[in-house]
Amino acid sequence: MKSLAELEAIRKATISRINVRTEEKGETTRVVIGMATCGIAAGARPVMLAFMDEIQKRQLPHVTVSQTGCVGMCRLEPMVDVIVPGKEKVTYVHVKPEMVPRIVAEHIVNGRPVQEYTIGAAENA
Amino acid sequence: MKEIALHLLDIVQNSVKAGASHVDIGFSLDGNGALTMTVQDDGCGMSQEFVERVRSPFVTTRTTRKVGLGIPLLMQNAMQSGGRVDIKSQEGVGTTITAVFQTGSIDCLPLGDLASTMATIIMGSPDRPEFSLRCASPSGEMDFSTEQIRAVMDGVSLAEPAVVQWIQESLQEEIEPILGGIMS
């Protein structure tokens, strides 16, 4: 295993970020990824890790990533919900890891959902 | 599924939903190329009658729909390589799923990115259960557990991106020399 000392350093760095998060309570943006059999088979795992990677790179303390089961629209997987407090939930469909940096930059950071990736755009196509 | 590691990600959800407090995952590759994957949990377990039916795609505990493909797809891929799947379970004790893959077969899936699967599993259930991973082959063996990590993190969630990344990278380094030959 990589050194546990390294992990200890990560812990210290993380604690200061968590403090930022608690101070801004209620302002947490949630990213929820479908991780049932259908989502996994369609490629949800690399999407999930791409979100983690991007959040880590940009040091966004107020964003959490979580997983959910099958919502019954398996043909649209991998699906990702982005829930910004005070805004309507946005559902992205057929998400690929390459799409993640744009969703994070435009939607999560700058507040403008990427319309062309949303379920609305897919259903009207 | 395109990887054995993706089946693991899928199958482990059953243990999590069964309320397990420990999930022990094992991959063992023998000298003849037989890869044995085991997932052992101490969740609620299944009745004998349910164990007999659970291989059917038309049996599931979920209420939103009447199909569940996790176990049937795992069986399909194990059997296609010349392997098999065993399910042992006891109500109130837990469940053990063992899948054998013959990695020498042209029809066998690659093991795939086991480190990413473990990172994703831990991210999805960062507080409970505790997960352990043990890999062994003629080239060596390794052990990992979330309990070890949790002790160091001292109250900081294992779902923090920096921690997940560390787990993924450190597992990658450790698994490669042991099971690298069947990863892709």
State the DSSP H helix or E strand holding residue B78, giving kind and residue range, or none if neither. Answer: helix B70-80
Segment B10-57, tens digit of pLDDT? 999 999 999 999 999 999 999 999 999 999 999 999 999 888 888 888
Task: Compute CA B68 distance to the chain's CA centroid, rounded to the nearest angstrom.
Answer: 17
State the DSSP H helix or E strand holding residue B77, giving kind and residue range, or none if neither. Answer: helix B70-80
Intra-chain end-to-end CA distance of chain A, in Å: 48
d(CA A93, CA A77): 6
pLDDT at A96: 98
Which residues in A lie closer than 8 A to residue B123 (C-beta atoms)?
48, 52, 65, 67
Pick the CATH number of B4-179 from 3.30.565.10, 3.20.20.150, 3.40.225.10, 1.10.357.10: 3.30.565.10
CA atoms within 13 A on the CB side of B25: 25
Give the angle subtended at the CA of B1 by the CAs of A76 and B160, to the nearest 5°.
75
pLDDT above 60: residue A1: no
Q: What is the pTM of this model?
A: 0.92
Q: Which residue type sits at B168?
A: Q
The sign of the dihedral angle between the CA atoms of B142, B170, B116, B23 is positive
| Cis peptide bond prior to B129, omega within 30° of 0 | yes
pLDDT at B66: 65
pLDDT above 90: residue B91: yes
Mean pLDDT of B53-79: 82
pLDDT at B64: 65
Mean pLDDT of B167-178: 95
Per DSSP, the three-state class of B127 is coil
Which residues in B lie closer than 8 A to residue A7 (C-beta atoms)?
149, 152-153, 163, 166
Cβ–Cβ gap B169/A2 under 8 Å: yes
* Domain A26-124 bears CATH identifier 1.25.40.10: no
pLDDT at A14: 86
CB-based contact B129:B21 (threshold 8 Å): yes
pLDDT at B55: 83
d(CA B18, CA B8): 16
pLDDT at A23: 67
A17 versus A98: the higher-pLDDT residue is A98
pLDDT at B56: 81
Q: Where are the beta strands (DSSP E) in chain A?
A: 29-34, 63-68, 80-83, 90-92
Q: Where are the domains of chain A?
A: 26-124
Mean pLDDT of B124-134: 96
CB-based contact A50:A100 (threshold 8 Å): yes
Segment B136-150, tens digit of pLDDT? 999 999 999 999 999
Q: Would you put residue B50 in left (φ > 0), alpha (ψ -120 to 50) or beta?
A: alpha
Give the angle subtended at the CA of A78 by the CAs of B45 and B133, to the nearest 5°.
40
Q: What band does B84 get if pLDDT is binned at 50, 70 and 90?
A: very high
Close Cβ partners of B47 (under 8 Å, ≥ 6 residues apart): B91
CB-based contact A107:A90 (threshold 8 Å): yes
Chain B residues with CB under 8 Å of a chain A CB are 1, 6, 9-10, 13, 62, 64-65, 68-70, 73, 113, 116-117, 119-120, 123-124, 144, 148-149, 152-154, 156, 159-166, 168-170, 173-174
Mean pLDDT of A110-114: 96
pLDDT at A122: 85
Segment A59-91, tens digit of pLDDT? 888 899 999 998 889 999 999 999 999 999 999
pLDDT above 90: residue B120: yes
Counting beta carbons within 10 angstroms of the beta carbon of residue B181, is it exposed (0 to 12), middle (13 to 18) or buried (19 or more)? middle
Which residues in A lie closer than 8 A to residue B65 (C-beta atoms)?
70, 72
User: Tokens 């319309």 appear where?
Assistant: A115
Q: Where are the domains of chain B?
A: 4-179
Tell me the shortest Cα–Cα distance from B104 to chain A, in angstroms. 23
pLDDT above 60: residue A31: yes
Q: Which residue type sits at A106?
A: E
Where would I find the H helices in A27-115? 37-42, 44-58, 100-102
Window 67-86 of A, Cβ < 8 Å to B: 67, 69-70, 72
Close Cβ partners of B123 (under 8 Å, ≥ 6 residues apart): A48, A52, A65, A67, B158, B159, B164
Mean pLDDT of B72-101: 95
pLDDT at B87: 94
